[in-house]
Structures are given as C-alpha cells and as structure tokens.
Amino acid sequence: MILYINCCVREESRTARLAQAYLEKLGKEYKEVYLPDENIQPMDRQRVNQRMELAGKGDFDDEMFRYARDFVEADEIVIAAPYWDLSFPSLLKIYIENIYAVGLVCRYTDEGEAVGLCKAERLTYITTAGGQYVPDYSYGYLKSLAMDFFGIKSTRLIKAEMLDIVGYDAEAIVQKAIDEM
C-alpha cells in the first residue's frame, strides 16, 4: 500500500498538483491522509503518558496508534507539504509526533541505537517554494527520521522552487518538475 500524507491546505496548491502527478505516474492505489481534515492533536501530558503506558505493554490497538499502524505497514510513503517559513506546516510535525511510537515504528537496542520497524522501502517528499528551497528543516529532517529511525532505506525529494519570483515562469517550473519525476 502507498500511504499519501497530504499537508496541502490550499485548494490551488502547487504542491498537491505535483503530488497528484507523482501518484498518477506510480499507477497504484494509495491511501490518503489529508491532514487538514484530520483531528490530530499535539501530544500533551495525558496523551504522552497514555502512549507510554500502552507501548510499554506492547498494546498498539488503541485508536491513538492508527496513524502509526498505517505508516508502519505502508510499502511506500509519499508526503506532500508546501515550504512554509523555512520548513513545512505544523500539521505535519503534529502527525510525526503522533506516529512516533517506540515499539511500533522503531525500537531501541540496549546500546540506545534506533532500529526502524517500517516496511516502506522509500519515502518521497514533495514540496514547492515561492523562493529558493532550503531542505535543512523539512526534507533533511524527514530524510533523517526515515533512514535513521524508521528503517526506510531510501528517500527522494521532488521540488519546484522560485515560483513566486518575478521573471520566473512558475507554470514552466512546475511542469519541468512533473516531467523529471
């Protein structure tokens, strides 16, 4: 199963357009999690304690783990998130908080090293930027999580940048990104 995590809040989202083109090129069915419509809450004291208690028992059947279960079982993960304020929308960070369940998405060795438990072979991150794209706090962060903590062997970045800069042809830039997928 392909898990498509959609963090695009605008109806005219260029990031969503790139993601749809990518998913069409894959030609497979996918499960979409449209984050703006989900009631994902940040982890607070009560939820963190509940997660730790359940995870300590190895009980991941609770509803709070549904996003993590889908993430772990996906064969491929596609994340679409616009480049906002040098990163991605906060909804995506909240999603990540909610999926990071030790014992489900990863485990730790006695030496404290993370061992990823996700089935996905690849995570593809798709984004667009009005100006220059700097991947450090968006793709770089997700790449590190995927490869160092989740056990996902490969990541890919698909981007279109400089879309709102005078003198650049935004449509041509988006189309080029689609053509190069």
CATH number at residue 70: 3.40.50.360
Residue 128: per-residue pLDDT: 98
* pLDDT tens, residue order, the chain (181 aa): 999 999 999 999 999 999 999 999 999 999 999 999 999 999 999 999 999 999 999 999 999 999 999 999 999 999 999 999 999 999 999 999 999 999 999 999 999 999 999 999 999 999 999 999 999 999 999 999 999 999 999 999 999 999 999 999 999 999 999 999 9
Residue 40's domain comprises 2-179
The total number of structural domains in the chain stands at: 1
Residue 59: per-residue pLDDT: 95
Helices assigned H by DSSP within the chain: 14-26, 45-57, 66-73, 90-99, 139-144, 170-179
Nearest to 35, CA basis, from 101, 105, 2, 82:
82
Sign of the torsion angle spanned by Cα atoms 154, 4, 43, 108 = negative
Residue 66: per-residue pLDDT: 96
Nearest to 3, CA basis, from 95, 106, 78, 69:
78
Identify the DSSP state of 131.
S
Q: What are phi and psi of 169, to 5 degrees?
A: -95, 95
DSSP per-residue codes, 111-129? TS-EEE----SEEEEEEE-
Residue 84: per-residue pLDDT: 92
pTM: 0.95
Q: What are phi and psi of 62, to 5 degrees?
A: -60, 150
Q: What are phi and psi of 52, to 5 degrees?
A: -65, -40
Residue 146: per-residue pLDDT: 97
Q: Determine contact, residues 118/44, Cβ cutoff 8 Å.
A: no
Pairing mode, if any, of strands 2-6 and 76-80?
parallel
